[in-house]
Homo-oligomer: A and B are copies of this chain.
Amino acid sequence: MTQSIGSAAKAIGITPDTLRYYEKLQLLPPPGRNAAGRRVYREEDLARVRFLKQAQALGFSLADIRQLLRLRESPTRASRTVRELAQRKRDALEVQMRQVKKMHAELTRLLALCTGSGSCCPILERIEGG
């Protein structure tokens, strides 16, 4: 069963433009074409795109994903490289999480102080105070 670029994109939840963009970046191999020169996607092609999107949802960049896809294709599926990639990504997420948490806590604290009615604003004061 094959699909046009439009229905393939819809099935995955992206746009045809994005699909062509991934192809241009060589994240996806050129799909087949029909007699009229239009792209034809097989289930296998869709699986690759879904893999890409899943990895993206796990926080990997397209550059990371380029690696991941190559490893996925490789016959030995060199597990160690993937593991290292995942580990680095997890470390980065930890740092990000701490930062986001800190910002959130601070804003929560400031919002609790702030009635939104007074003429003085604890939020501005906090930012000013450093």
Q: Which residues of A contact B (CB under 8 A)?
A: 47, 50-51, 54-55, 57-59, 68, 71-72, 76-77, 79-80, 82-84, 86-87, 89-90, 93-94, 96-97, 100-101, 103-104, 106-108, 110-111, 114-121, 123-124, 127-128, 130
Complex CA gap A50/B130 in Å reads 7
- Can you report 22 A-B residue pairs in the complex whose CB atoms are below 8 A from each other? A47-B128, A51-B127, A55-B127, A58-B107, A59-B103, A72-B124, A72-B127, A77-B120, A77-B124, A79-B116, A79-B117, A79-B118, A79-B119, A79-B123, A83-B114, A83-B116, A86-B107, A86-B110, A89-B107, A97-B101, A97-B104, A100-B100
